[in-house]
Amino acid sequence: MDKNTIIAIVVIFAIIMLFQVFYLRPRMEQQRIEQAGEAEEEEAAPAAEEEPAAPAIAQEARATIVPADDAKKEIVSIETKTYSVQMSTEGASIVSFQLKKYFDQNGAPIELVQFDEGDIRPFEVHFDRLSSLSGGDRTIYYAEKLSDMSYRFYRDFEDKEGHLYRFSKTYNFLDNEYMFDITLRIAALEGDNLYINNDNIAYTLAWGPVLGPTSVIRNRYNITTQGYHEGNSFKKVMRGAGGCSLRRGESRYQEISKIIDWIGISNRYFFVGIVPGQKNYIYAFDQRQTGKYLIGISSPYFRGNSLEDTFRVYAGPKDRKLLKKYGNDFEAVKGSRILKPIVVFFEVLITAFYKFVHNYGIAIILLTLVIKIILYPLTNKSYQSMRRMSALQPQITEIREKYKNNPQQMNKEIQGLYKKEKVNPMGGCLPMLFQLPIFYALYALLSGMPELRGESFLWIKDLSLPDTVATLKMMVPLLGYRIEGQGFTDINILPFIMTGTTLLQSKLTSGGQSAQQGKMMTYLFPLMFFFIFWNMPSGLVLYWTIQNILTIGQQYLIDYNLKKKKLKGPPPPAAKKKRSRYRISR
């Protein structure tokens, strides 16, 4: 087996591993977790009948609400240039948070807040740990308008020793910003020292249950990630996809206690980051309920006269410029830090092309053309090396036949032939090796670029999603998915076109190789790519398809030039200088 075959096998093995990591393993883990969840529900059902649902001990330990008959349930609103926010006096929570500059498929502003009746709503405050909460807070607060951009909600409570205190929550927005402040204050009303302690917690500020929009949740690339930032990196604690699929080994509830930079929750396009003060809070991550993604910040128990904490909140798109503008290294939530220079370069190019052509599909094609031009010298040399390798196959076959009983001499003769003909057996694999980081960088860009949402091209309705034209009510292995027990399979067009162009390119590339190696290169690669690309963003599949078409054209051009040189033949030998028949007489 020559070096070129070995390198090809290594590349195929690497792609298979990537395929398993990004495709097969998440699906298998999702199925295992769904089955485990069903088993847990069956086991928990009898227990639910035997014990009351509400935890009586926790209920007794919570702060006592001072009656207030004149407190009314109402909705108050704040309008800025970036947000349209609705807050309810019920729980002093946010019940609607719309982004005015980002729209859904119906042209309506994106809604970041989604909840069901009884859920914990965004920025509710509970005087208990997040793990002990069974539902949302429906305490009616008083609302006081401080300005056009600020509201304060307050209500009186008693601590466990009967001392009165006032708890208030103030929202402060800015007119044209994606960050706002939440200030929580606890103050004794009679000058007494307060003691607020429930399971070593004074209060918990919670976000939940879903970061919107949830218009498309079944695709496994719509991943909700919970984590925190510490030490110049975003630490992912829990991940969920397609309603609820946790990676194996992750618990459904986890707490950490330390001083961190910020805590956050994100999906493909949007992000909520909460920046606490420099204090040792307890941070909770909760995915115990299917499709619910909760995070909480708990202040340790409190003894004293007053307490005030302020949290800075970013709520908006995962736009690199915006994240960088607000500091705190929010940009880390986008990931791909190793390939960040390549990702940023591609992002600048595709944005510039869009400003010129006003269509992201065409912008992706132009980006593909630029990438092809940049890599042309390398790929051109590699493909020429592959063609020369193909031309040497008869001689290599002859050497193998001649020295089949002497492997050492056979390898020595083959290496000597390569050296004589100035052929690098590894040269043909270089284009594929260079494509891998480019492919990953484009995946990171195109799968999480907010601007691609809803952008159409030809029959493609959304370049950030697969180009689905129909859906079958059955689950095809490796291609389909399940929702509430029902199997589905989306029919996508681009993967078929991409596979056809990959097959043609493989045939051109593997021409002249041994039968076994040729079949491996010709059929295995396209088949693997078909399954790998099936559910990927159509913008990425479009890039690979155009890349194939350009490569096919490049290979035809190389073959044409080589045939042209062969037809011309070697240059004629230089004519020898004839001696004169006449001697010069002295």
What would the pLDDT profile of 544-562 be if each residue is shown by its tens digit?
A: 899 889 888 877 877 777 6
Sorted by sequence, the CB contacts under 8 Å of residue 472 that are 6+ apart come out as 480, 488, 489, 490, 491
Q: Report the chain's C-alpha Rg in angstroms.
A: 32
Question: What pLDDT was estimated at residue 61?
Answer: 38
Give the range with max mean pLDDT: 125-139, 398-412, 447-461, 519-533. 125-139
Q: What proportion of the chain, given as a percentage, has pLDDT over 90?
A: 29
- What the block records as the tokens of 363 is 């912008």
Sorted by sequence, the CB contacts under 8 Å of residue 44 that are 6+ apart come out as none
Question: What pLDDT was estimated at residue 249?
Answer: 42
DSSP lists the bridge partners of residue 166 as 156, 187
CA distance 112 to 98: 6
Question: What pLDDT was estimated at residue 519?
Answer: 58
Please give the DSSP secondary-structure letter assigned to residue 23.
I
Residues listed for the chain:
586
CA distance 262 to 133: 23
CA distance 431 to 443: 18
Question: What pLDDT was estimated at residue 80?
Answer: 94
Question: What pLDDT was estimated at residue 220?
Answer: 55
- Contact between 512 and 390 (Cβ < 8 Å): yes
Question: What pLDDT was estimated at residue 104?
Answer: 79
Give the range with max mean pLDDT: 38-47, 323-332, 464-473. 323-332
CA distance 257 to 419: 63
Mean pLDDT of the chain: 78
CA distance 37 to 174: 43
Question: What pLDDT was estimated at residue 143?
Answer: 94
Sorted by sequence, the CB contacts under 8 Å of residue 359 that are 6+ apart come out as 455, 457
Q: Domain map of the chain by residue range?
A: 52-334, 339-565
Segment 510-515 shows an average pLDDT of 51
What would the pLDDT profile of 22-80 be if each residue is shown by its tens digit? 444 444 444 444 444 444 444 444 433 333 333 333 333 357 777 777 888 999 999 99
Question: What pLDDT was estimated at residue 168?
Answer: 96
Q: DSSP letters along 106-154, please?
A: TSPEEE-EE--TTPPPTTEEESS-GGG--S---PBPEEEEEETTEEEEE
Segment 303-325 shows an average pLDDT of 92
- Contact between 229 and 274 (Cβ < 8 Å): no
Question: What pLDDT was estimated at residue 28?
Answer: 44
Segment 197-206 shows an average pLDDT of 92
Question: What pLDDT was estimated at residue 397?
Answer: 75
Above 80 in pLDDT, residue 195? yes
- What the block records as the tokens of 463 is 């370049």
Q: Does domain 52-334 have CATH number 2.70.98.90?
A: yes
Confidence of residue 438 (pLDDT cuts 50, 70, 90): confident
Give the range with max mean pLDDT: 29-33, 80-84, 222-226. 80-84
Question: What pLDDT was estimated at residue 573?
Answer: 54
Angstrom distances, CA of residue 270 to CA of 102, 372, 537: 10, 32, 17
Above 60 in pLDDT, residue 14? no
Question: What pLDDT was estimated at residue 67?
Answer: 73
CA distance 277 to 549: 54
Find, among 233, 86, 65, the residue nearest to 164 by Cα: 65
Enumerate the H helices of 215-338 as residue ranges: 320-325
CA atoms within 13 A on the CB side of 123: 31
Question: What pLDDT was estimated at residue 483?
Answer: 65
- What the block records as the tokens of 162 is 């009967």
Confidence of residue 581 (pLDDT cuts 50, 70, 90): very low
What would the pLDDT profile of 343-380 be if each residue is shown by its tens digit? 889 889 999 999 999 999 999 999 999 988 887 777 76
Sign of CA dihedral 6, 8, 12, 15: positive
Region of poorest pLDDT, from 391-395, 453-457, 513-517: 513-517
Confidence of residue 86 (pLDDT cuts 50, 70, 90): very high
